[in-house]
Structure 1
Amino acid sequence: MLAKANRIVHGGDFRRIVRTGRRAGGPLAVVHRAQPEAAVARFGFIVSKQVGNAVVRNRVKRRLSEIVREELPTIEATDIVIRALPAAGKADFATLKAGIAPLLEQRS
């Protein structure tokens, strides 16, 4: 689990990042990156019902959180929202990590 300082929890922050941030996409997810409001990198996850039922959605969120936690030392201070696409529900951890990690490394 990510530290509280590294999580985006307010709806207004999600809206700001998705609407004003730069977008990078892949077959498994879309990453929205915006200017930071804090001195640390912050992350939020959007996993809709199109990804799967509640069990699948929660599994995808846990996997995304773990991927971000592993990559956190290499990511500059920025606000990032990761929106999972339906293919993420069927992907295993290694495939998901291979699809997400390059998107996190891209600079805004």
Structure 2
Amino acid sequence: MGSPPPTIRKRADFLAANRGTRIVTPAFILLIRSRGDADPALRAGFTVTKKIGGSVVRSRLKRRLREIARLELPGCGLAGADHVLIGRSAGLTRDFAAMRADLVRACAKATQ
């Protein structure tokens, strides 16, 4: 529960994560890809397409995704991997506790 994981900022890192494991949930799509470097830190990235809505709506969904990542990724994420959460329209109305549970399940599914 503490500080948020470091954030992915470069487009190349997002594209690399897209070649990794993809887990679909009602509120978001989780992409996980091991970086293969010596750094054990996990990183998180967040994106929402313009199809979802205007900038206010997209920002609201990104804030929700950042918060569930801050709360759950340190415990369930893969060390040395990039985690990208792509927001879906259901993420705007889905219960926050359900979104947290979705992230835990998605991380567990990725480790299998």
Report the TM-score when normalising by structure 1: 0.82
CA drift of 1:66 comes to 0.9
User: 2:28 maps to what in 1?
Assistant: 29
Aligned position for 1:81: 84
Question: Mean alpha-carbon deviation: is it higher for 8-17 or for 88-97?
Answer: 88-97
Other-structure match for 1:99 = 102
Instruction: Write the distance in 2 (CA, Å) between the matches of 1:92 and 1:51.
Output: 18
What are the residue-to-residue correspondences of 1:5-24 with 2, within 5 Å?
Answer: 6-18=6-18, 20-24=19-23
C-alpha change, 1:90 and 1:83, in structure 2 (3 Å) is same
Taking the aligned partners of 2:85 and 2:42, their CA distance within structure 1 comes to 13
**4+ residue segments displaced more than 3 Å:** none
Gap regions ≥5 residues in structure 1:
none
What is the number of equivalent residue pairs in this alignment?
105
Quick check: 1:7–1:44 contact (8 Å CA) kept in 2?
Answer: yes
Structure 2 alignment gaps of length 5 or more: none
**CA deviation map 1:62-106 (0-9, x unaligned):** 111111111133122111111111221232423332333321333
Give the secondary structure class of the aligned counterpart of 2:31: strand
Across the aligned residues of Structure 1 and Structure 2, the Cα RMSD in angstroms comes to 1.9
Once the two structures are superposed, residues 15-56 of structure 1 have per-residue CA deviations (whole angstroms, 9 ceiling, x without a partner) of 1111x1011111221111101243201010111122222122
Matched to 2:11, the amino acid is G
Conservation of the 8 A alpha-carbon contact between 1:51 and 1:85: yes
* Equivalent residue number for residue 70 of structure 1: 71
Identity among equivalent pairs (%):
32
CA distance in 2, matches of 1:60, 1:102: 20
Is residue 29–residue 82 contact of structure 1 (8 Å, CA) maintained in 2? yes
